[in-house]
Amino acid sequence: MSSRERILGRVQRALADVPPDDTPYDQAIERAYLGEHGNRSVEETVDLLAENLADYRAIVHRTDADELPCLIMRLLAERGPRSVLVPPGLPPEWMSAADATRVHDRAVSTPHELDTVESVVTGCALAIAETGTIVLDGSPDQGRRRITLVPDHHICVVRVPDQVVSSVPQALRRLAPNRPLTWISGPSATSDIELDRVEGVHGPRTLEVVLVSGE
């Protein structure tokens, strides 16, 4: 008898006296949790997102579609990167004012090659106000997960209000479960046993989130 058969046998014996229940799963499990906490306007939801992003040590900027290229140019110039990663579907006008050399996301790029790129600019799938979380799903304006984990500086553009939701339940209803989802709450960070915070261990040391209206 294999280990699998032994374990399944134990489960079968444990369930032997359980009466059959034909109640559909979605009716048997009560899901009465709140869809969101409180009743906020769109502006208040965006403000909450900005507040929670900043609480997680992300750097938050607000702009409109016309000023977005100049803001991205300034953010990159302040960091001084020689090169910046761009996903294949990033709107070209976002980078129209930037001077850094653009490195395109390629399947053949090695981790060492990605590590030589200082910054990455992406869009997002959506942002969650109550948790201060940015969600990426690998869409063309975001690229593969690894390009947002290796560079030390990540600029993420969030379209307001279309890509902003209040809560995690609202986000889950809009996200495709078969997509490669990456949930980001602030820059990568960890703490040792002495609670000394170290940033940039498992991803970007600096996360800049641009809330752009008018797109």
Q: State the CATH number of the domain containing residue 45.
A: 3.40.50.10420
Within a domain: residue 20?
no
User: What's the distance, CA 27 to chain centroid?
Assistant: 32
Range of the domain at 49: 40-213
* Residue 202: inside a domain: yes
Reported as a pLDDT band with limits 50, 70 and 90, residue 210 is very high
96 within a domain of the structure (yes/no)? yes
Q: Is residue 7 part of a domain?
A: no
| Rounded Cα gap, residues 207 and 162, in angstroms | 21
Q: For 199-211, what is the mean pLDDT?
A: 85
Q: Is residue 108 situated within a structural domain?
A: yes
CB 72 within 8 Å of CB 97:
yes
pLDDT band at 168 (very low <50, low <70, confident <90, very high): very high
Average pLDDT over residues 182-189: 85
In a domain, 135, yes or no: yes
Number of domains the chain is built from = 1
User: What is the per-residue pLDDT for 191?
Assistant: 66
Higher-pLDDT residue of 206, 20: 206
Residue 83 within a domain? yes
State how far the Cα of 110 lies from the Cα of 4, in Å rounded to an integer: 39
Neighbouring residues of 191: CB distance < 8 A, sequence distance ≥ 6: 197, 198
Cα distance between residue 9 and residue 129, in whole Å: 47
From first CA to last CA, the distance across the chain in angstroms is 62
Residue 45 CA, chain-centre distance (Å), reads 18
Share of the chain above pLDDT 70, in %: 93
Section 68-82 average pLDDT: 92
Per-range mean pLDDT, top range of 2-11, 60-69, 80-89: 60-69
Q: Residue 2 domain-assigned?
A: no
Determine contact, residues 85/119, Cβ cutoff 8 Å.
yes
Which residues share a beta bridge with 191? 197
> Among residues of the chain, what percentage have pLDDT more than 90?
62
In the predicted structure, residue 214 carries a pLDDT above the cut 90 = no
Q: Is the whole model's pTM more than 0.85, yes or no?
A: no
| DSSP per-residue codes, 139-194 | -TTT--GGGGTSSSEEEEEEEETTTEESSHHHHHHHS-TTS--EEE-SS-EEE-TT
